Chains A and B, each alone.
Chain A
Amino acid sequence: MMAYGENEAARRMGQLLGRPRNLALTGPLMSIIVNLLLIAVALAGLVAAANGLRFGQTLVFGAMIWSITHTIHVRAKIGGNSPPDERERAVAAEAMAFGGFMAASLVSIWFLFLGVFADDGMWFPQESREWQALGFFVTGLTTQATNIAAAWKTPAYSGVLMDEH
């Protein structure tokens, strides 16, 4: 994915951070690693919130915000100011379909399990802090899975082109 229009803010940020080429934050591999880490952080936050710790909710919220910021940053870095071309739109649609489908399926499967095991002690949110943490988690998971799918579908050569740009 080669930029057709240079994005000054993204270029400046890249220069300031001065990362090695292969570990560029917007590269496909690093994007997958970052979003997997964010999922782990969000899960840890959800567990902490379920155990009554206030910072758990903050962790989940932070992971959600970081994943949204990552999406915007990658889009700005790769696409610049130009609108996405046909291939980029196709990749975005596939990635969104994957991310949304996965998150919605996981939530509904969990609800169905709760229908059977809630009385046996399976956890479900009851306090307002837990509900909020779950809301942030669902929204964040959708974004993170979408980012991972988008990076997975970005061919390696476009990462090279991006770095050499």
Chain B
Amino acid sequence: MAYGNNEVVTGIDRVAMAVTGQETTTVIARRVAIFGNLVLMAASIAGLVLTAQGQSGRWLVFVAMISASTYSGLIEYQQRGKAPRDEREWAIFWKALAIGAFVTCVLAGFWVMLLGRFADQGMWYPDRSEEWEAAGLFIIGLMIQITNIAKAWMTPAYAAELLDDD
């Protein structure tokens, strides 16, 4: 819910409403946020697989990471404008970041430990510079995407409705 009205965002909303005939805020409803970030995650995985196969997939991982962080920033700006987070928003932010960062760390740690066992048997690990870069971007992107999904998941339905009524 915006505490400070933002003229630019309001203007963009009006233009979009005139074009599409619907509230633009429905686009940022939490289900769309979850679905959008799952798509970005799939794009990241596809990019990593392409890179591992020797094709040019690094850009896909990079675009997915940048899109997830831009999306996150836009949602924040749309919801709050320039107002600081309130107590509930801080709590959701920390919880979502805790889930996103911890899941990423556990997955990365688990993958590396499995490599200790199966690297000699052909399990993939980065070896070329493109692969290292793709893996680094993938880890950052995955953390942002999981955080966005967790944040959308924890946002109560009434908040989305309030956004629509705003």
Contacts and interface: CB of A to CB of B under 8 A. Distances in A.
A139 B97 CA distance: 17
Contacts of B104: 100, 104
Contacts of B106: 139, 142
A161 interface: no
A105 interface: yes
A73 interface: no
The B contact surface, by secondary structure, is helix
The A contact surface, by secondary structure, is helix
Nearest to B112: A135
Interface in B104-118: 104-106, 108-117
Interface residues on B, range: 35 or more
A139 B109 contact: yes
Contacts of B132: 111-112, 114-115, 118, 124
Given A93-B94, A115-B136, A134 B129 contact: no
Contact of B109 (A93, A96, A138): A138
Contact of A96 (B102, B116, B125, B136): B102
Interface in A3-45: none
A93 B105 contact: no
Nearest to B129: A115
B61 to A, nearest CB: 11
B116 A109 contact: no
Interface of B: 91, 94-95, 97-98, 100-102, 104-106, 108-117, 119-120, 125-126, 129-130, 132-133, 135-137, 139-140, 143
23 contacts: A90-B94, A93-B98, A97-B101, A100-B101, A100-B102, A100-B105, A101-B143, A110-B136, A111-B126, A112-B133, A112-B136, A114-B136, A115-B132, A128-B115, A128-B116, A130-B116, A131-B115, A131-B116, A133-B116, A135-B114, A135-B115, A138-B109, A142-B105
Interface of A: 90, 92-94, 96-97, 99-101, 103-105, 107-112, 114-116, 118-119, 124-125, 128-136, 138-139, 142
7 tightest A-B contacts by CB? A100-B101, A132-B116, A111-B136, A135-B113, A115-B133, A135-B112, A96-B98
